[in-house]
Amino acid sequence: MTIQTGDRIPEVVLKRIRNGVENVDTPTLFDGRKVVLFAVPGAFTPTCSEKHLPGFIERFEDFRSRGIDVICMAVNDPFVMQAWGKSLDAPDGLQLVSDGNADLAKALGLEMDASGYGMGIRARRFALYAEDGVVRQLFVEAPGEFGVSSADHMLEQLG
């Protein structure tokens, strides 16, 4: 079942690279914070690299000035996520986390099967806004679409 507004973010362990690979659980990322989490089907893929992450990089300070953390998630390994962030000059505060086994995507009910493209299980393209671990807004893209999960759309919805 897909997560809904008013639901808590499920407890899942993700990976990120700061001073080496580290585990980070969702309560650490979300509890006591305002967070925009957006997911992409894959690092280094066309829409993700040309529009989705670059939009959040460009508007990063607009989120930060509102006290909102920004997290990008993909079903890729943490080394790929780190390299992707570096290739696009992602600011230090924009976290790129690895959901390598699609645990969070599945727990949210937002996974997709991209096996037909040789990519296995991936996250659907989406963005959500959570306060203290509770989803307040959720925007899930239709297959092949990009719009409602963009940085600009999220900022418009946040007012």
* Local confidence band at 10 (pLDDT 50, 70, 90 cut-offs): very high
Active site residues per annotation: 48
Distance CA 75, CA 81 (A): 9
pLDDT digits (tens, 9 = 90+) for 43-94: 999 999 999 999 999 999 999 999 999 999 999 999 999 999 999 999 999 9
Q: Write down the CATH superfamily of domain 13-158.
A: Glutaredoxin (3.40.30.10)
H or E element: which one contains 40? strand 34-40
Q: What angle do CA 131, 139, 6 make, to 5 degrees?
A: 40
pTM: 0.96
- Which residues are CB-contacts of 10 (< 8 A; sequence separation ≥ 6)? 3, 26, 104, 107, 108
Distance CA 111, CA 96 (A): 18
